[in-house]
Amino acid sequence: MSARRTAGTAVVAEAEERPGPAPDRRGAAIAAVVLCALLVVVILVTTPWHPLPGAGRPADPALDFTRAQIGRGDAFNRALDPPAYAGLAAGLLVVLLLGLTPLGARLLGPVTRPLRRWPLRLVGVAVVLAVLTRLAGLPFDVWSQTVLRRYGLSTEHWGGWFTDQLTSLGVTLVIWIVVLLGVHLLVRRFPRRWWAGAAAGGFVLVAAASFGYPVLVEPLFNSFHSMPAGPLRTDLLAMARRDGVPVGDVLVADASKRTTELNAYVSGFGSTRRIVVYDTLLTSEPRAEIELIVAHELGHAKRDDVLHGTLVGALGAAAGVCVLFLVLTSPRLLRRAGADSPADPRSVALLLAAVTVLLQVAGPVENLVSRRIEARADMHALDLTRDPETYVRMQRSLSARNLDDLSPNGLEYALWNSHPTGPQRIAMGRDWARLHHVPVPAPLVNSTSP
């Protein structure tokens, strides 16, 4: 009886690995080119490349930041650079070793062999790869956290920090498992053209994730409550009505349990759209500056920047899936990965390597577009409040408190900066004042200040 069961299992395994019809690489390549071209056109047409026409004066940190502030920010960012670059390099090295050498197949083989059903194999592979990649980056994350604690930006105890890491790992695992099960279901059902269904699925998944993130994921890390009734809440909601932005509430996040940084953001779209401010803002910033920060977020909401970013990201995901099809159907790359076909669970390591490289390449482009959108939201805040003096002070306060890099080099600017630098935003505020013929804010410090 057991011999027959063993023979039957061998037949099933052989059937799973038997070569199927040739994949439609030509169709996937054409779709990838078309979608990538469409993505480029959408980015070029919809990005606000000149959020403030006529602006362009150089940004000089010494005009508004003291030598002590500049020195402390420089020291903090020099301390943060080594773990950031080392973590980036280590992460790339690990996924490339797993995906482009037989090492990944050797590590995943013992996981996949004992499991008879392919969904269980994929779950096992997802767990192993998620844990390995997280462990590879953990020493550098710990290093970064020690820097944040040393400079007073982190208030989180190590126990809470590790809990956040485990929660993040759990969220990552859920996403991976959903994606892998969907992709492999398509691979097995449509072996020649699974790229078409996967591209459509990728588009929908990105949109659904962005829609659900505020109510499904954000509460795992922070608690939220309505801004307490009072003059500030009344004025903020009145400003939103004056701006023509439907805002039923402004939420406060308990960010102070892990950081002293100041921030606010908009997430979600449609019925899940929310404007959130950190509780650190309410306890440390003047009311006029808080109103300007919320006015910036209203700029994002009025322009539907989250929805726009979601749709552009979804289009990028669809294009990326077509590229991934070409990677996963390349006999040479499959041999290097030690996998037999895209249906082989061991090919997931190759998939992870390809996704990581694509995301790394896309990152600087995303940051470039994001900086322009953030600048447009700044201009919206100025148009709404017409208070460049407070705007300049607010940007100085945010940059000094958050220890922002005031003069990043070109590589750091491309890799890490999703917003313009503090001095750039201050310079835009002064340009706005000149163009609108209102008093231009004077430098906040003398060039000879210590």
Q: How far apart are CA 67 and CA 228, in angstroms?
A: 38
**276: helix, coil or strand?**
strand
CA Rg value for the chain = 25
What letter does residue 65 receive in the DSSP assignment? S
Within 10 Å of residue 149's Cβ, how many Cβ atoms? 15
Residues forming beta bridges with residue 200, ordered by sequence position: none
Which residue among 378, 387, 404, 431 is the active-site one? 378
The token pair at 363 is 């990152």
Residue 234 contacts residue 173 (beta carbons within 8 Å): no
Asked about 412 being catalytic, the answer comes back as no
Q: Which amino acid is at 370?
A: S
Q: How far apart are CA 16 and CA 13, in angstroms?
A: 5
In the annotated binding site, the residues are 296, 300, 374
Instruction: DSSP for 391-402, please give it.
Output: HHHHHHHHHHHH
In the annotated binding site for Zn(2+), the residues are 296, 300, 374
Q: How far apart are CA 290 and CA 232, in angstroms?
A: 9
Q: Distances from the Cα of 168 to the Cαs of 91, 171, 180, 188, 351, in angstroms? A: 16, 5, 18, 30, 21
Asked about 297 being catalytic, the answer comes back as yes
Q: In terms of DSSP bridges, do strands 264-267 and 274-278 run parallel, antiparallel, or are they unpaired?
A: antiparallel
What letter does residue 264 receive in the DSSP assignment? E
The token pair at 189 is 């059902």
Helices (H), 190-230: 194-216, 218-221
361-368 long-range Cβ contacts below 8 angstroms, 24+ apart: 362/316, 363/415, 364/414, 364/415, 365/43, 366/418, 367/414, 367/415, 367/416, 367/417, 367/418, 368/414
Name 384's Cβ contacts closer than 8 Å, sequence gap at least 6: 239, 242, 243, 295, 298, 299
Q: At what angle do helices 194-216 and 305-328 cross, to 10 degrees?
A: 140
Which residue among 64, 291, 297, 404 is the active-site one? 297
Q: How far apart are CA 99 and CA 439, in angstroms?
A: 58
Residues forming beta bridges with residue 224, ordered by sequence position: 253
Q: How far apart are CA 284 and CA 270, in angstroms?
A: 31
Q: How far apart are CA 429 and CA 423, in angstroms?
A: 10
Q: How far apart are CA 97 and CA 380, in angstroms?
A: 47
Residue 132 dihedral angles phi and psi, to the nearest 5°:
-60, -45
Active site residues: 297, 378
